[in-house]
Amino acid sequence: MKNPTYLILLLAIGLVFVSYKWVTSSQATGSTETKPTTIEDIMTRTSVRAYSDRKVESEKIDTLLRAAMAAPSAGNKQPWRFIVIDDRNTLDWIGENFRTMTMAKNAALAIVMCGDLTATFGGDAKDYWIEDVSAASENLLLAAHAIGLGAVWCGIYPQTERVEQFSQQLHLPADIVPMACICIGYPSGPTTPKDKWKPEYIHYNTWDSVRTILR
Ligand SMILES: Cc1cc2nc3c(=O)[nH]c(=O)nc-3n(C[C@H](O)[C@H](O)[C@H](O)COP(=O)(O)O)c2cc1C
């Protein structure tokens, strides 16, 4: 016991044991103190259109893009492509040219979510790229919320004029279609999610089924 190496080893084993117990107990109890759950993030996300002046760190932008690319896609084709816009002139151009995107003028950045038509299916499955890029967009919105950012999805596709204007401004090749412009920044104040729970929208097994909804 007088050997210091032996003591250090004992101490290290003790430390590993205590850390393991701490991690497993917080997993078992679903502790939310340090790590809000996915469900909480989904239920508290809301569109954020007012931002503070704070710059968004590049690590956070990286997280958003990684979350977007983690989305499911038909046949795992991953037809999403991204244009990260942090140039103030381009953000102002968006805010000034599209009446539903005025918040871009105050956003720290925007990410234009595009679909690559050469990377998706043909025939009657050709439109799956829209669902794929939408899944990536929702992932990005949720990730933004989870890391303290605020974001709003602004629609581009299928409005032809918007698609043409964005394509021209961003020098997009013909096969790259801009689907949405997500404006992002730190929220300027607290945000409140909308309650959208409508049990009457749910049908069981067939449309004309009747089932008592408990809550
Ligand atoms: C396809 C699509 C297009 C949208 N376009 C715009 C838009 O151009 N401008 C805007 O401010 N919000 C836009 N939104 C955000 C919606 O207005 C918002 O999601 C909706 O009001 C529900 O509010 P919530 O996101 O806070 O739950 C869009 C959302 C989707 C899914």
Residue 107 burial (C-beta neighbours within 10 Å; 0-12, 13-18, 19+): buried
Domain co-membership, 11 together with 44:
no
Q: How far is the CA of 153 from the centre of ligand 1 (A)?
A: 5
pLDDT at residue 1 tops 50: no
Give the residue, by CA position, lying nearest to ligand 1 atom 2.
Answer: 155
| Domain, as residue range, for 57 | 38-185
The answer to whether position 204 is within a domain reads no
pTM: 0.85
- Domain membership of residue 29 (yes or no) is yes
Pocket test for ligand 1, best of 45, 47, 141 (most atoms within 8 A of CB): 47
pLDDT digits (tens, 9 = 90+) for 114-168: 999 999 999 999 999 999 999 999 999 999 999 999 999 999 999 999 999 999 9
- Domains in the chain: how many in total? 2
Are 119 and 23 in a shared domain?
no
Exposed/middle/buried for residue 175 (C-beta within 10 Å: 0-12, 13-18, 19+): middle
pLDDT tens track for 14-68: 555 444 444 433 343 334 445 569 999 999 999 999 999 999 999 999 999 999 9
- Coil, helix or strand for 83? strand
173 and 93 fall within a common domain: yes
CATH of the domain at 138: 3.40.109.10
Q: How many angstroms separate the CA atoms of 193 and 195, rounded?
A: 7
- Structural domain includes residue 116: yes
